């Protein structure tokens, strides 16, 4: 989850099992999905990335495989055999490694209730231009459709930091048109602003409420989506070059070629 997911997704071979759980729940603690999330989430089918980032929904191993976030699904009972087979390899030839992992790989079906089976509905709601419009469309649908999925989706969004939600939506929309390197560099700027409390101290409030005080009820500031203006969000994307205490992130020029080679 979170940073761990970002590191793992840079692997050439991303092996999951029936025990794997993936999520980017940062808005629930006043942050936003980073570590390249605006790149890899924006490249999921339709607007599934917006759904994952705004709701913090958990995804299992089978869903990761189906979505493309994982390259292989291996039953946990076969992990030791797979590891033993890989330990006996004396080459770094990707084709050889791929062939070995394939010997233990499966293609499990999606479980009933998987959000991937609701991709049409997700595209309908999460393609909207703003978080307010997304929520409004879900609430309008809930009047006629009492589906519990709609209710839990609305609640997940409303429990998150309004500022974080708006920052993330802009981030993933920009990420669709940017390279991996550009996404990482931009997210570094955004994270710097969050740490500096440029528009909100929600990160500190969220961590305290979730992990320190454990009240589970953070008091977000601003408290509503309507109070988070476009001008406020703009500030979180403003370069910090003029501040010597917050130098820009300088990644190797080969970063994008690595991302493409790894299928991201």
Encode pLDDT of 121-175 as tens digits.
999 999 999 999 999 999 999 998 888 999 999 999 999 999 999 999 999 999 9
> Do 86 and 103 touch, CB atoms closer than 8 A?
no
What was the pLDDT predicted at 179?
A: 92
The answer on pLDDT for 110 being more than 90 is yes
Orientation angle between helical segments 79-87 and 94-104, nearest 10 degrees: 150
In angstroms, how far is the first alpha carbon of the chain from the final one? Answer: 17
Rounded to a whole number, what is the largest CA-CA distance in the chain? 61
SS3 87: helix
Percent of the chain with pLDDT strictly greater than 70: 95
Task: Output DSSP code: residue 16.
Answer: E
CA within 13 Å, CB half, 11: 16
Q: How far is CA 21 from the centre of its chain?
A: 13
Handedness of CA 170, 173, 178, 181 (dihedral sign): positive
CATH architecture assignment, domain 3-76+110-261 = Alpha-Beta Complex (3.90)
Question: 182, 257 in Cβ contact below 8 A?
Answer: no
pLDDT at 120: 96
CA dist., res. 131 & res. 12, Å (int): 34
Q: Domain locations in the chain?
A: 3-76+110-261
At 7-50, the pLDDT tens digits run 888 888 999 999 999 999 999 999 999 999 999 999 999 999 99
Whole-number pLDDT of residue 147: 87
Q: Tokens 């330990």 appear where?
A: 87
């Amino acid at each position: 989850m979170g940073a761990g997911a970002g590191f793992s997704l840079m692997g050439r071979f991303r092996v999951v099992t029936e025990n794997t759980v993936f999520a980017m729940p940062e808005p629930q603690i006043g942050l936003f999905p980073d570590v390249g999330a605006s790149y890899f989430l924006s490249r999921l089918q339709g607007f599934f990335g917006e759904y994952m980032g705004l709701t913090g929904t958990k995804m299992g191993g089978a869903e990761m495989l189906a979505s493309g976030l994982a390259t292989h699904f291996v039953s946990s009972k076969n992990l030791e055999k797979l590891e033993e087979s890989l330990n006996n390899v004396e080459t770094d030839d990707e084709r050889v490694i791929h062939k070995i992992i394939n010997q233990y790989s499966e293609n499990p079906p999606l479980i009933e209730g998987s959000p991937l089976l609701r991709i049409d509905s997700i595209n309908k709601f999460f393609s909207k231009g703003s978080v307010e419009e997304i929520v409004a469309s879900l609430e309008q649908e809930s009047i006629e459709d009492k589906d519990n999925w709609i209710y839990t989706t609305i609640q997940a969004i409303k429990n998150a930091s309004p500022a974080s939600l708006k920052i993330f939506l802009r981030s993933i929309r920009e990420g669709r048109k940017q390279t991996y390197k550009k996404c990482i560099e931009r997210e570094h700027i955004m994270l710097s602003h969050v740490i500096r409390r440029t528009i909100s101290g929600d990160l500190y409030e969220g961590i305290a409420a979730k992990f320190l005080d454990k009240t589970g009820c953070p008091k977000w500031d601003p408290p509503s989506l309507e109070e988070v203006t476009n001008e406020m969000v703009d500030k979180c994307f403003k370069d910090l070059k003029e501040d010597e205490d917050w130098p820009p992130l300088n990644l190797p020029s080969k970063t994008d070629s690595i991302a493409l080679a790894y299928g991201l």
